[in-house]
Amino acid sequence: MTVASIDIGTNTILLLIAEVNLNSGDIKAVKNLQSIPRIGKGLKEDNPMPDENVGRMFDVLTKYSKKIKKYKCEKVLLTGTNALRIASNKNDIIKEIKNQFGYDLYIISGKEEAKYSYFGAISGHNDKQKYLVIDIGGGSTEIIYGKGNEIIFSKSFHIGVVSGTESYLVSDPPSEKQIKNFINHLQKIFFGLIKNVKDIDTPVAIAGTPTTLACIKYKLKSYDEDIVEGSSLTKMELTDFVNELSHLTSTEILKRYPHIVKGREDVLLAGTIILKEIMNLLKINEVKVSTKGIRYGAIINWLKSLK
């Protein structure tokens, strides 16, 4: 069965078209698309999402709907995360998406987002291991700790690459004081993880920050999922990335890595700092990078609902 799964994030909107075996649960990717409309730009909690942001979202959905028709998808799963969670006009957006495209948008809670991220990230892995999944989004960061298919601990933190940049790293490049204040805030909010997360077999990082850093590490000219999936990032490499990115303007970052960072050049530093601070706190020396996440988790969740 051909299934489309769309993840509407604060910074990116991702489309996965996959062949799904309803009996075995196997998910085989056929097509992956990424757009960076940043629908959470300037969005504050309980305020309406600005019309221009909504317009950019609908432009992406129009493009994706053509692909969905082309591949004759029999099921479309549309998942919204933090930006849609906090927007006061989310119900209007849900109705308009239904009217224009016929899709049902499901806005997941932070807890559900953590679950989707975890099961997406570990899909295809050894299910007896203890995993820590780190999902650094645009408006929130999810930390999920589990053993195989059992989630032991999960928490959604209201800080991501867009919100972190807009709230703390406000100049371009940011000042040392801004970076220090951001790190202090992260250390404060993540501190409680120490008592809840122990004995990690496999730390996994998902979302745009780790996949972009992996592309830079391997000197890729364009995104290559086969190389990025299962690659690794060390704490030392993240330290080097922070030192490099913190002294460059977003324009200089884009010029240095034009095809890899486009659309993320002004938020990549924030994401790198978030990942580095989590690794520091939990004494993690190396993380695996996964290209999977909410899109896959949404399909897995849907398959479970059929049984």
Q: Residue 125: what pLDDT?
A: 77
Tokens 């559900």 identify what position?
Answer: 112
Same domain for 244 and 158: yes
Q: How far apart are the first and last CA of the chain?
A: 16
Question: Does residue 121 lie in a domain region?
Answer: no
Question: Does residue 117 lie in a domain region?
Answer: no
**R_g (Cα) of the chain, nearest Å:** 18
Question: Does residue 119 lie in a domain region?
Answer: no
Contact status, residue 53 vs residue 40, Cβ threshold 8 Å: yes
Q: Residue 243: what pLDDT?
A: 98
Question: Does residue 116 lie in a domain region?
Answer: no
Q: Residue 124: what pLDDT?
A: 77
Same domain for 283 and 142: yes
The count of structural domains within the chain is 2
Provide the CATH number for the domain around residue 25.
3.30.420.40
Tokens standing for 298? 């949404």
Provide the edge-to-edge strand list for the sheet that holds 232-234: 150-157, 141-147, 130-136, 202-206, 286-290, 232-234
Tokens standing for 188? 């404060």
Return the closest-CA partner of residue 109 out of 132, 82, 88.
82
What is the C-alpha to C-alpha distance for residues 178 and 76, in angstroms, rounded to an integer? 42
Question: Does residue 237 lie in a domain region?
Answer: yes
Same domain for 93 and 130: no
Q: Residue 296: what pLDDT?
A: 96
Q: Residue 127: what pLDDT?
A: 77
Q: Residue 184: what pLDDT?
A: 98
Tokens standing for 65? 């709907």
Q: Parallel, antiparallel, or unpaired for β 13-20 and 27-35?
A: antiparallel
Tokens standing for 5? 């799964």
| % helix, strand, coil for the chain, step of 5 | 45, 20, 35
Same domain for 152 and 87: no
Return the closest-CA partner of residue 253 out of 277, 269, 234.
269
What is the C-alpha to C-alpha distance for residues 223 and 200, in angstroms, rounded to an integer? 29
What phi and psi, each to the nearest 5 degrees, are found at residue 24?
-90, -20
Same domain for 142 and 52: no
Same domain for 254 and 274: yes
What is the C-alpha to C-alpha distance for residues 97 and 200, in angstroms, rounded to an integer? 41
Question: Does residue 71 lie in a domain region?
Answer: yes
Q: Residue 9: what pLDDT?
A: 95
Same domain for 223 and 197: yes
Same domain for 164 and 20: no
Contact status, residue 15 vs residue 165, Cβ threshold 8 Å: no
Same domain for 268 and 153: yes
Question: Does residue 118 lie in a domain region?
Answer: no
Provide the CATH number for the domain around residue 171.
3.30.420.150
What is the C-alpha to C-alpha distance for residues 124 and 221, in angstroms, rounded to an integer? 27
Question: Does residue 216 lie in a domain region?
Answer: yes
Same domain for 179 and 90: no
Contacts of 51 (CB under 8 A, 6+ apart): none
Same domain for 205 and 71: no
Residue numbers of the domain that contains 93: 2-110+294-306
- In this prediction, the residues of the chain whose per-residue pLDDT falls under 70 are 126
Q: Residue 168: what pLDDT?
A: 98
Q: Residue 128: what pLDDT?
A: 85
What phi and psi, each to the nearest 5 degrees, are found at residue 270?
-60, -45
What is the C-alpha to C-alpha distance for residues 13 and 194, in angstroms, rounded to an integer? 32
Cα–Cα distances in Å, from 44 out to 82, 83, 136, 167?
11, 9, 19, 11
Same domain for 180 and 299: no
What phi and psi, each to the nearest 5 degrees, are found at residue 111?
-65, -40
Q: Residue 172: what pLDDT?
A: 96
